[in-house]
Structure 1
Amino acid sequence: MLKAKRLITDLDEIAVALINRTNYHGFWPLLYQVATAGLEPESIAYPVRAILRRYRNANFLLAEVNGVDFEQHTVLTDVGSVSYDYLVLAAGSTTNFFGNERFERYTLGMKDLDEAQRLRNHILHCFERAASERDPAHRAALLTFVVVGGGPTGVELAGAFVELIRHVMRKDYPMLDVHQAHVALIEATDRVLATFPESLQRAALDRLRRMGVDVRLNTPVADARPGVLAFKDGSELAAETIVWAAGVRASPLAEALGVTLGRGARVKVEPTLTLPGHPNVFVVGDMAYLEGYRPGVPYPMVAPVAVQMGEQAARNIIARTRRNPMKPFRYFDKGQMATIGRSAAVLDSFGIRLTGWPAWVGWLFVHLMELVGFRNRALVLLNWAYSYFTYDRGVRLIFGVGAEERLKVERLKVER
């Protein structure tokens, strides 16, 4: 959505059609807080039509894009074909299970609101089941929460699990000894937050371990089955909650295009962000494979890159309509940050490296301002303030568990 706003506002004689499979724009860096009962789902999402209604040249279509006919200049969707003069593909990314069907089958993802709510339901179910479980071994597995992947998502989620258990579940479930709860962060390499400076990596690792997270470095995962994660050294860990945060790949739409793909199933693009041989088709964000820092190293699949790519694509479309030359994409790196828990974060921006409370305040401010809409900012700020001063979280509701979820639970019981 944000990628389209510049095009809509800068050239009002262009008719812009936005196609999306959901009717909302989501701020995914805060998904982990929805998954751990810190925020309501609607506080990090905003209706697309509410954003577009101020623009007379914009229209919205709720549809699933299945492919593109480049010869006929049409987008193929589940509700019919849509013609285009210029096309911007920004379908984002999905979880990368590296071709292992068992990882996909027996672990939980967290790439959209549906998955985040499913994870929250699952976590709360685990505590409810643990409260009545008489088998100590199974109770321990129900209270074991594993995150695979030591990037920002994994670090933030592991810290959020600890705080949920320590500050909330301890009071909600007095019949349980929450000291039995076990949060593990599994990383195949020798460091967490690999893209951060080494000093911040050490600070994050130290903070996680002081919080009680069982951080296991140099521990590649070999297999997964119901309630068990197996490692390449032959050891196993029994856990009912295994969250896969070990990587991302481009949306399946990239493979449906029939074009040349790079690592992570990303679409290889020209420096102008156009598809080779199709100067009126632009690919931006996590779908785009463009080497920028040095040969063989593409731009990372993060939100700041996606936003700047969207803005450059809009500028290049405007340039083409005015018969001006297009310009190559240049990423302006404003830095990176990750929160580890209450009053703790790491921040690396413009040569400034911060840890602890100052970095945490910076993280709060940046993420609050990135949200769309005053209502969402107010809701998130109030939730954060409530959680900070009361050590509580207000969204501990289990809902939306339908037939599909019940069938999944029964299937796992049978497979055991």
Structure 2
Amino acid sequence: MENRVVETDGPKIPYDYLVLAMGSTTNFFNVLGAEKFAFQLKSLEQAVELRNHILCCFEQAAHVKSEAKRKQLLAFTVVGGGATGLEFSGAVSELIHGPLARDFPVLDFRDASVVLLEASDRLLPGMPERLQKYALARLEKMGVDVRFNAAVSEIRGATIRLKGGDSIKSETVVWTAGVSGDPQIPAWGLPTIANGRVAVDKTLQVPGHAETYVTGDLAYFEEDGRPLPMIAPVAVQQGTAAALNILKQIEGKEPRPFEYFDKGAMATIGRNSAVVRVGKRTFTGFFAWIVWLFIHLLYLIGFRNRLFVMLNWSWNYLLFERAVRLIFPVDRESRCHIAGETVVDDQREAGS
């Protein structure tokens, strides 16, 4: 970094100012087998791969004769009780007992299960207790088995082992337990601290490198003695602040300290239900769900996109439908085939 040159696969790129906004990667907390056997939700490709796998599990379950194998195929385990884990658990529960129940009438859906594992003693850390309790009650009403103080020690094939000694048989494990900074940052000579993030000063600059800014999940920025959460609103505001500070430096002015404006937090828990925090006010249920929909529509770019999404949501809501349930090919060689009573997945070695 002393030479102010970015080395790439192609030509070297000199710079006057550098903004590092590389985001984060999934944090597996050194759990053995987690990276190999658990699905992630950090990219569109990963989401499509998981979607394909879920549909394949139902296709396979409709053909197997072993009750134990069928229950294993229809067991969906989510690791991490934050907003992502909560929303996914609610969504997959609705998918199982809604559209898929109609698509697979030969299956007994009492064999299907959704388990949410949380290492601490509560869901949605950082949210008010009222919202945490509502989220738990709502998930349990939807049939989700929520387990607290259930830290995962190992994942091997379709077996999940917990630190308390228990184990779970599940063909599908989704990891939503947390994220960390980009692992290649230390090789660049930048010091990292908690979760592989880079400590920045009040202006989002790297100490000792006034020309280098770090924003988003990669930036470790403390406010009131606590680091800002690794969420999109923080990244958006920091990106704007870094750009304005670079303009100030070009003009010979001092950069301004960054101040985060907390607009609140929200999470959906399936159809007609959500939790929302705005300042000190909290909302739950249908009204919170409407707020969630409105906010997400508002942040879409362009009236046409907003209209299309609103019509699509309305159609799905009125008809109790989900998207077309087709298995799409992905770049990775990961497939699930019907082959007697064995699930074949080239990447995950499921069923081993």
Q: TM-score range by the shorter chain?
A: over 0.9
Match of 2:288 in 1: 359
1:160-309 counterparts in 2 under 5 A? Answer: 160-294=91-225, 297-309=226-238
1:312-327 counterparts in 2 under 5 A? Answer: 312-327=241-256
| 1:382 Cα offset (Å) | 2.4
Structure 2 residue matching 1:405: 3-state secondary structure: coil
Structure 1 residue matching 2:321: 3-state secondary structure: coil
| 1:318 Cα offset (Å) | 1.0
Instruction: Work out whether residues 169 and 178 of structure 1, in 8 Å CA contact, stay in contact via their aligned partners in 2.
Output: no
| 1:256 Cα offset (Å) | 3.1
* Cα distance change, pair 413–353 in 1 and its aligned pair in 2 (3 A): closer
Instruction: Work out whether residues 79 and 118 of structure 2, in 8 Å CA contact, stay in contact via their aligned partners in 1.
Output: yes
Q: State the aligned residue count.
A: 345
CA distance in structure 2 between the aligned counterparts of 1:206 and 1:403, rounded to whole angstroms: 38
Deviations 1:290-330 (A, max 9, x none): 11121xx2111011111111111011011111111111111
Instruction: Work out whether residues 126 and 143 of structure 1, in 8 Å CA contact, stay in contact via their aligned partners in 2.
Output: yes
CA distance in structure 1 between the aligned counterparts of 2:332 and 2:87, rounded to whole angstroms: 31
| 1:94 Cα offset (Å) | 1.0
| 1:220 Cα offset (Å) | 1.1
Instruction: Work out whether residues 31 and 152 of structure 2, in 8 Å CA contact, stay in contact via their aligned partners in 1.
Output: no
Deviations 1:132-186 (A, max 9, x none): 1111111101101110000000000000011111111011111111222101110
Match of 1:13 in 2: none
1:73-88 counterparts in 2 under 5 A? Answer: 73-88=4-19
CA distance in structure 2 between the aligned counterparts of 1:256 and 1:364, rounded to whole angstroms: 42
- Give the CA RMSD over aligned residues: 1.7
CA distance in structure 2 between the aligned counterparts of 1:383 and 1:355, rounded to whole angstroms: 24
Q: Which runs of 5+ in 2 are unaligned?
A: 337-343
- Structure-1-length-normalised TM-score: 0.80
1:19-58 counterparts in 2 under 5 A? Answer: none
Instruction: Work out whether residues 171 and 350 of structure 2, in 8 Å CA contact, stay in contact via their aligned partners in 1.
Output: no
| 1:74 Cα offset (Å) | 1.8
CA distance in structure 2 between the aligned counterparts of 1:213 and 1:414, rounded to whole angstroms: 23
* Cα distance change, pair 273–101 in 1 and its aligned pair in 2 (3 A): same
* Cα distance change, pair 314–412 in 1 and its aligned pair in 2 (3 A): closer
Please tell me the residue identity of whatever aligns with 2:181.
A
Q: Which structure has the highest helix share of the two?
A: 1
Deviations 1:100-136 (A, max 9, x none): 3411111110101111111111111111111111111
Instruction: Work out whether residues 346 and 360 of structure 1, in 8 Å CA contact, stay in contact via their aligned partners in 2.
Output: yes
CA distance in structure 2 between the aligned counterparts of 1:83 and 1:367, rounded to whole angstroms: 38
Structure 1 residue matching 2:76: 3-state secondary structure: strand
CA distance in structure 2 between the aligned counterparts of 1:292 and 1:168, rounded to whole angstroms: 45
| 1:99 Cα offset (Å) | 2.4
| 1:375 Cα offset (Å) | 4.2
CA distance in structure 2 between the aligned counterparts of 1:316 and 1:77, rounded to whole angstroms: 26
Match of 1:159 in 2: 90
| 1:265 Cα offset (Å) | 0.1
Please tell me the residue identity of whatever aligns with 2:74.
L
| 1:413 Cα offset (Å) | 4.8
Match of 1:126 in 2: 57
Match of 1:336 in 2: 265
Q: 1:349 aligns with which of 268, 278, 292?
A: 278
* Cα distance change, pair 255–374 in 1 and its aligned pair in 2 (3 A): farther
Match of 1:384 in 2: 313
1:106-145 counterparts in 2 under 5 A? Answer: 106-145=37-76
CA distance in structure 2 between the aligned counterparts of 1:404 and 1:350, rounded to whole angstroms: 46
CA distance in structure 2 between the aligned counterparts of 1:205 and 1:379, rounded to whole angstroms: 33
Structure 1 residue matching 2:241: 3-state secondary structure: helix
